[in-house]
A and B are shown apart, each in its own frame.
Chain A
Amino acid sequence: MAARVGIAATGQIKFGNLSEYDLVDIMAYAATEAMEDGGIVEKHSIIDQVIVANMGGGIINHQTGIASSLVSRLNLEPASAELVENGPASGASAVKVGWMAIASGLADVVLVVGGETMRKVTGWAATDFVATLLHPEAEYNMGLTLPAFGAMFTRLYMERYGLTERDLALIAVKDHENGAKNKFAHVEETCTIEAIHDNANAHVVNNYVAEPLRLYSVCPVSDGAAAVILVNMDSPKAQQFRKPPIRIAGIGSATDTHCVHNRKDPLALAAVRVSAERAYAMAGLRPADISFAELHDAFVTLEMAISEEVGLFPRGKAVDAVRRGDTRIDGCLPISPSGGLKAKGHPVGATGVSQVVELVRQLRGEAEPGRQVKDPRYGMAVNFGGFANNVVTIICARE
């Protein structure tokens, strides 16, 4: 039987423009925050393995061998160390690899750190860097980008389910309301529906990025790092942490076609659905058991589409939930209490780890006042790689 794996500690650096800092330094900062959160003293003897999530170190920072560099920066030698690159799903994939290391008996304590510094280059170059995950000849060479696919997806979603630009703005208002209270969020400003949609001059502040997506429909380009320490809950080492671990109840991942145009239904996010089914099966849970979710809203439409694929709402009905306010922090199913990628930010390699940090903070009751979900039992995170061609779902449980 696989070992029970829990998250004993979390750490994060505030997301934003950290372009003056070194990538490995901000990762090391998040890792030391996690060590402090765990209250561990004998760091060298307790951490068996380090797993690092990063997507663009080689392209943006001209920096490779990042896992080895991080171990040395933290003086954790001779811990073993590996890098996980799985596009924007690198973070959750790294947590999955850490989970596998403990579940297999290879390690008892694993430090997982995700980090990215995308603002060291221009916005144009950052957009180009993320687009390198598309099919090189059939998509990237055409000039297509991730916002282009997000926009084409949104247009179809609008056509089929009656989604409007006002609905997109409502999600942004909700995300920024949560993000403004999150000490780790990139954007700490609230916005109103009048300012970004209802006012006659709203288009001035909320201009199109990729029609029908506007500025307030897409996440910012962010730098940041996040860390979690995974433990074998049945190992004596787990007793050395000062807080009881939050159990990883289920992990699932799945893939879909590289080219978006090769999906029978371009609105079907099969990798999201299958990854969630696998996570539910491992956890022995159903969608109705989930107390709150952190979903990969790089484009706010995805918050609704993902919530439907994982079974939180019937297909085509998430927009009604948004209009009713069900997904707000005081609603019946809060989504992205952290502010989501929209407000918290999206440093690609860090995002999946940061989502898990948020699950733990919520389940421990440590979120800031005004954005703490009421008495949560199970939290779900969906980390979305490519345009949904590689997705990881993680369900955490408060014991």
Chain B
Amino acid sequence: MIDFGIYGAQEPRIFAYRCPQCHTAYYPPPMLCAKCSNRRDPSGIVYDDWEKFPLEGACKLLTWTRVWALPEGYDQPYLLFGMVEFPNGLRASGRLEVESPHLGMELIAWVAESSERPGHPVNIFLFSEAAARPLPTNLRCD
């Protein structure tokens, strides 16, 4: 099976990728390395696929917002979102589970499965302060 995606199949995970030629890491992954133009081949037929590794754990908050006008499917008065940077330099955007955020604060990135919107469940980032997986009531975390 050709694996184009960034999700883990067994448990809620989100993966980053590393180019085997120049070792540049990406999230989400391109099909060509921006640094050395090496091709990513998810089929593994022509070239070795790139190394994939879970993106989670310690990170730092770069910026954030509390959104009061949510799109269809979200049944809350507001949700918080943030952009974070991991120690390896990769960055990600996702759900912020902190009531009083401030720029530069240390966070932990978790991955949870969300069924808020119609269709297949999707994996999302949750950024929290605590070293325990946050369980927001609006998400189904398997």
Contact = CB atoms under 8 A, between A and B. Distances in A.
B83 interface: yes
B67 A151 contact: yes
A259 B34 CA distance: 14
A125 B62 contact: no
Interface string A107-134: 0000000000000001111011001000
A271 B11 CA distance: 38
Nearest to A123: B69
Given A143-B79, A155-B103, A138 B93 contact: yes
The DSSP consensus for interface residues of chain B is: strand
Contacts of A151: 65, 67
A144 B93 contact: yes
A266 B67 contact: no
B93 A131 contact: no
Contacts of A143: 70-71, 74, 79, 81, 95, 114, 116, 124
Interface in B59-74: 62-74
Contact of A142 (B62, B63, B66, B95): B95
A124 B91 contact: no
Contacts of B123: 141
B72 A211 contact: no
B76 to A, nearest CB: 10
B28 interface: yes
A155 B91 CA distance: 17
B42 interface: no
Contact of B125 (A124, A135, A142, A152): A142
Contact of A261 (B64, B67, B83, B114): B83
Contact of A124 (B72, B82, B92, B122): B72
Interface in A119-178: 122-125, 127-128, 131, 135, 137-139, 141-145, 147-148, 151-153, 155-156, 159
A145 B67 CA distance: 9
A137 B69 contact: no
A127 B103 CA distance: 26
B44 interface: no
Contacts of B94: 142
A63 B97 CA distance: 39
Interface stretch (A49-57, A202-210, A230-238, A315-323): A202-210
B37 to A, nearest CB: 17
Nearest to B72: A124
B90 to A, nearest CB: 9
Interface in A216-255: none
A210 B65 contact: yes
Interface string A251-281: 0000000011110001000000000000000
A212 B108 CA distance: 24
A261 B92 contact: yes
B5 interface: yes
Interface in B20-36: 27-28
Contacts of A212: 65
A133 B62 CA distance: 23
Contacts of B93: 138-139, 142, 144, 259-261
Given A135-B28, A138-B27, A211-B66, 20 more contacts: A124-B72, A125-B71, A127-B70, A127-B71, A128-B71, A138-B6, A138-B28, A141-B114, A142-B94, A143-B71, A143-B81, A147-B69, A156-B63, A209-B67, A211-B68, A260-B83, A260-B93, A261-B91, A266-B63, A266-B83
26 contacts: A128-B72, A131-B71, A137-B122, A138-B27, A138-B93, A142-B95, A143-B74, A143-B114, A143-B116, A144-B81, A145-B69, A145-B71, A147-B69, A151-B67, A152-B82, A152-B83, A153-B63, A156-B62, A209-B67, A210-B65, A210-B66, A210-B67, A211-B68, A259-B28, A262-B91, A266-B63
Shortest 5 CB-CB contacts between residues of A and residues of B: A151-B65, A128-B71, A261-B91, A141-B122, A124-B72
Interface of A: 122-125, 127-128, 131, 135, 137-139, 141-145, 147-148, 151-153, 155-156, 159, 207-213, 259-262, 266
